[in-house]
Amino acid sequence: MLEKIKDLIAEVEKISVDTKEKAEELRLKYLSKKGVLNEIFAEFKKVKPEEKKEYGQKINSLKTLVESKIAAAQEALEEQLSKPNDLDITLPGPNYNLGSHHPITMVKNEIIEIFSRLGFTVAEGQEIEDDYHNFTALNFPPEHPARDMQDTFFIETNPDILLRTHTSGGQVRVMEKQKPPIRVLVPGRVFRNEAVSARSHCIFHQIEGLYIDKNVSFADLKQTLMYFAKEFYGEKTEIRLRPSYFPFTEPSAEMDVSCSICGGKGCGICKNSGWLEVLGCGMVHPNVLKNCGIDPNEYSGFAFGMGIERTAMLRYGVTDIRMFFENDMKFLSRFKY
C-alpha cells in the first residue's frame, strides 16, 4: 500500500492542471466521496498501529499535493480571468504607418495650388492621343523636323494613334470645347521613346498651362511665371527668359530660375551657371488658335509646360529620376508631410 501511495504522489506531481476541467477532474478523482483518498483512508484503518504514523504522513502529503495543485490552478485561472479588467483602453493603439503622397503628386498639387490662386482650373488630357492633337493641331506640319524632337511611341497597327509625348495636346482639347477666357492647367503622364538614365526616363509627368483672353501679352506671361517662380522656389528667386523654339508658340522661350541651392553663385546642381532651366513657354501661335476655332485677331494667349520630375528633383535635391518610379519605401518615406 505504501508503494501505491508513492506511485500516486509521483503521478499527481506529473499532471499539469491548467484548465478548470482538469482541476475538477483531479478533485473528483482524489477528493470526492468515492475518490482515491477515501479509498486509501478505508484501507488505512487496517494498517498496524506501529505503521500508522508512516502511512498517515504519506497519505497526508498526497492529499496536500492534490489540494495545492487544485488551488494553484484556480489561482492561475482567476488571474487570467481578471486580466481583461486590467486592459487599459486609454493606452495608444498599435502604430499603423500612414501612407503619404508620392513626391510627384506633392509637387503637382503645389503647382496647381499656386496657379489656382490666379484663377487656373485643372483639365484632364488623354494619355493615348491621336497625331492630330499631339502634333498637327499644335502646328507641327506632317514631316516637320520638330516632330523628331520628341521620340514617339506609335501604336504599331495604327501610327495615327500614339502615347502623348507632351501635355500640350491637352491645350487643343480644352480650346476645342471651351470658349475664351481660358485659364487651365493640364497635368499628366507623358511618354517618350528614350533610353532610361539618371537624367531621363521614357515615362514622366508634365504640367501644361494655357491662358487665352483678349489682349493677353508677353508681359502677362512673364508676370505669371515670375509669380509662380517666387511662390514655388522662394521669394528671392529671379527668372530669366531665353529665346527658344516650339512650333506651337511664337515667340517661344525657355525659363530659367536662379539656382536655389547656391543662390545664383554657381554650384554642382546648376553646373556653375547660377541658373536652372525649368520650363518652356511662349505666346500661343495664331495657327493653333485657328485650328481650335478661336479667332487670333480677337484673342491671344500664352502657354507653358514643365516637367514635374525635373521640378521635384530641384525641389528635393534628387539626382536620379529613376527613383520616382522604383517605389522604394526608403526613398518615398522621406516625403511625409
Say how many residues touch ligand DAH, by CB under 6 A: 11
Do residues 333 and 102 lie in contact, with contact meaning Cβ atoms separated by under 8 Å?
no
Q: Could you tell me the three cell numbers for 323?
A: 527613383
Q: Pick out residues in 113-172 that bind ligand DAH (CB under 6 A).
A: 166, 168
Q: Which of 125, 180, 280, 301 binds ligand DAH (CB under 6 A)?
A: 280
Q: Interacting stretch for ligand DAH, rule CB under 6 A, among 76-84, 97-105, 217-225, 303-311?
A: 303-311
Residue 60 amino acid letter: N
67 vs 220 by CB, closer to ligand DAH: 220
166 vs 173 by CB, closer to ligand DAH: 166
Q: Interacting stretch for ligand DAH, rule CB under 6 A, among 20-28, 117-125, 280-288, 291-299?
A: 280-288
Check residue 237 for interaction with ligand DAH (CB under 6 A).
no
| Collapsed DSSP state (helix, strand, coil) of residue 278 | strand
Q: What is the largest CA-CA distance in the chain?
A: 133
Q: Rounded to the nearest whole angstrom, what is the least distance from the CB of residue 89 to ligand DAH in the complex?
A: 56
168 vs 237 by CB, closer to ligand DAH: 168
Query: Which positions from 190 to 229 touch ligand DAH by CB under 6 A, shown as an x/- string?
Result: ------------------x---------------------
37 vs 162 by CB, closer to ligand DAH: 162
Helix or strand holding residue 305 (H, E): strand 300-307
Number of C-beta neighbours around residue 66 at 10 A? 23
264 vs 301 by CB, closer to ligand DAH: 301
203 vs 261 by CB, closer to ligand DAH: 203
56 vs 181 by CB, closer to ligand DAH: 181
Check residue 305 for interaction with ligand DAH (CB under 6 A).
yes
Q: Rounded to the nearest whole angstrom, what is the least distance from the CB of residue 107 to ligand DAH in the complex?
A: 17
| Collapsed DSSP state (helix, strand, coil) of residue 261 | coil
Q: Rounded to the nearest whole angstrom, what is the least distance from the CB of residue 262 to ligand DAH in the complex?
A: 26
Q: Interacting stretch for ligand DAH, rule CB under 6 A, among 43-51, 112-120, 276-284, 285-293?
A: 276-284
Q: Rounded to the nearest whole angstrom, what is the least distance from the CB of residue 254 to ligand DAH in the complex?
A: 8
Q: Name the burial class of residue 213, with classes exposed (0-12), middle (13-18) and buried (19+) by CB atoms within 10 angstroms of its CB.
A: middle
Q: Rounded to the nearest whole angstrom, what is the least distance from the CB of residue 303 to ligand DAH in the complex?
A: 3
Q: Which of 206, 215, 166, 208 is nearest to 183 (CA)?
A: 208
Q: Rounded to the nearest whole angstrom, what is the least distance from the CB of residue 184 to ligand DAH in the complex?
A: 11
Q: Which of 281, 294, 312, 318 binds ligand DAH (CB under 6 A)?
A: 281
Q: Which of 115, 228, 246, 324 binds ligand DAH (CB under 6 A)?
A: 246
Count of residues in the chain: 337
Q: Rounded to the nearest whole angstrom, what is the least distance from the CB of residue 139 to ligand DAH in the complex?
A: 11
* Sites of contact with ligand DAH (CB under 6 A): 166, 168, 208, 246, 249, 280-282, 303-305
